[in-house]
Amino acid sequence: MLMADLFGKTLNKEVPIPYYYQLKEILLDYITNHHPDRNVPIPAEVDISAHFNVSRPTVRQAINELVVEGYLVRQKGKGTFVMKPKISQAFLQNLESFNNEMTKKGLEPSTKVIGLEVIECDEKAGDALRIPAGSKVIKLRRLRYANDEPIVYVITYLPYDRCLPIMDKNLEFESLYSILREVCGLSLLKAVRNLEAVLAGEYEADLLDIEKGAPIQYIKSVTYLEDGSPIEYSLAKYRGDRSQFTFELGIR
Amino acid sequence: MLMADLFGKTLNKEVPIPYYYQLKEILLDYITNHHPDRNVPIPAEVDISAHFNVSRPTVRQAINELVVEGYLVRQKGKGTFVMKPKISQAFLQNLESFNNEMTKKGLEPSTKVIGLEVIECDEKAGDALRIPAGSKVIKLRRLRYANDEPIVYVITYLPYDRCLPIMDKNLEFESLYSILREVCGLSLLKAVRNLEAVLAGEYEADLLDIEKGAPIQYIKSVTYLEDGSPIEYSLAKYRGDRSQFTFELGIR
């Protein structure tokens, strides 16, 4: 159980940091560095409480926050277990397709197309694509999975006239970027991404199989062609409990 | 009141997207593009309900989600108002100090040092800084503000031997990077950042003046010197309701 690594530590009762928070940091270190077996529960609340000489509610608060943050999961009658690690993604650094990225990680990607329609764009999509509100755009809604677990819900807007061939493609099997490049003959140059941490609403929560109010990494992107014109505006909601994004930046 | 922009739209009752969600998207478009005056409330629930021909609970659900996501705020007896826009940060793209970044945006930055101590590092900080667990490190905890509003809580770990001069500095007024460069004589090369969307625990919520369970952009960074050795490990929790991060990536 490697409990020695957990129970070798103590709380510092002389600093103005709440006990539950110190305990949470100790538990987080323990579960991320010393508890490799996800089939074995972490030590029981009563044992943690006795060792650290803090109340059961203090222990429960630390564990609760690790549960809501997606590090731990409670299983009725069995105990509290370490969650699967988050999927680390280079989406921020490379314009790589979701499928390639998941395949590289040894995960099986799949895609469900929820909607593919031609609509008149609203002002926001029009601004992003630099076309007047009311112009015809393709609106594509996809739910993307890794090993059958939903990871991200993406809404993509594409200018209708330049991306028409999309309408005949099966986007559950073909890559959007490949179609844009190879079928539509477009040269992609760069993307601008905007990130926000938000909470899942009921609709996204249902789609992503998480609780309403769970954390979501919300990434809005505009992809540009070599001639400088925007070709794709997308709104992606990633499950916070399953996603982390890593990238490197040089110092300027 | 520019209500025409809101009430010029209708719900699509033939697609399998919940009414509340369609209404939420319409409201979001309206408040971000057409409702510039934050002192004027948005239209009342009863009027929205009547116009779109949906129930009051449907309207309330759409508004509630926009409230928890930080787009709207309810004021008792006065109505529902548009929140201040999020502060857009280039933190992901430039290794720029918080102070410079806020100043550029016309916001007044300030910093409160919550703790500055020398401790023995745990395994996580040791791994990040490539020193053995138990080595002496400086642990700096800061709360950083824009216009007196707390924006981010940052814990920074620095190897003690290379960063000793930090201990004598007033980090409420001096920039950490300037001290590292100019006083410690270090050449910073690059940073690796890792992002996750998480929920605020009670402790961070208190510090950042938000509700427990509010969204947090959690950014872990390791900064490296030109010789390849890590010099800084930091854990930053940004208020999700006040922060967005934008950056550009070239296509490889």
ipTM: 0.75
Interchain proximity A245–B93, CB inside 8 Å: no
Interchain proximity A196–B122, CB inside 8 Å: no
pLDDT value, residue A106: 81
Pick one of 1.10.3720.10, 1.10.8.60, 1.10.150.670, 1.10.10.10 as the CATH number of A4-82. Answer: 1.10.10.10
Asked whether the beta carbons of A112 and A142 are under 8 A apart, the reply is yes
Interface of B with A in 73-92 (CB under 8 A): 86, 88, 92
> Of A114, A133, A129, which Cα lies nearest the Cα of A220?
A129
Quick one: pLDDT band at residue B115, thresholds 50, 70, 90?
very high
> What mean pLDDT is predicted for residues B47-62?
92
Q: Does B159 touch chain A (CB under 8 A)?
A: no
pLDDT tens figures, A223-233: 999 888 999 99
Q: Is it the case that residue A34 has pLDDT exceeding 50?
A: yes
Quick one: pLDDT band at residue B17, thresholds 50, 70, 90?
confident
Interchain proximity A18–B249, CB inside 8 Å: no
Tokens at A6, concatenated: 């957990």
Residue-averaged pLDDT of chain A: 87
* Domain extents in chain B: 4-82, 87-245
Same fold, A4-82 and A87-245: no
B15 CB neighbours in chain A (<8 A) are 115
Q: Does B95 touch chain A (CB under 8 A)?
A: yes
Residue-averaged pLDDT of chain B: 87
Helical axes A45-52 vs A19-33, angle rounded to 10°: 120
Interchain proximity B249–A202, CB inside 8 Å: no
Helical axes B19-33 vs B45-52, angle rounded to 10°: 120
d(CA A156, CA A158): 7
Q: Is it the case that residue B150 has pLDDT exceeding 90?
A: yes
Strand locations in A31-146 (E): 72-75, 79-82, 87-89, 109-120, 136-146
Interface of B with A in 207-236 (CB under 8 A): 213-218
Interface of A with B in 16-35 (CB under 8 A): 17-18, 20-21, 24, 29, 32-33
Q: Does B173 touch chain A (CB under 8 A)?
A: no
Test the B interface: residue of A14, A114, A195 with most B CBs within 10 Å: A195
> What mean pLDDT is predicted for residues B112-127?
92
Quick one: pLDDT band at residue B1, thresholds 50, 70, 90?
very low
Tokens at B82, concatenated: 């548009």
Test the B interface: residue of A65, A206, A226 with most B CBs within 10 Å: A65
CATH node for B87-245: 3.40.1410.10
Asked whether the beta carbons of B37 and B84 are under 8 A apart, the reply is no
What burial class does residue B119 get, using C-beta atoms within 10 Å of its C-beta: 0-12 exposed, 13-18 middle, 19+ buried? middle
pLDDT value, residue B179: 93
pLDDT tens figures, A57-109: 999 999 988 887 778 888 888 889 888 777 766 666 666 678 877 887 788 89
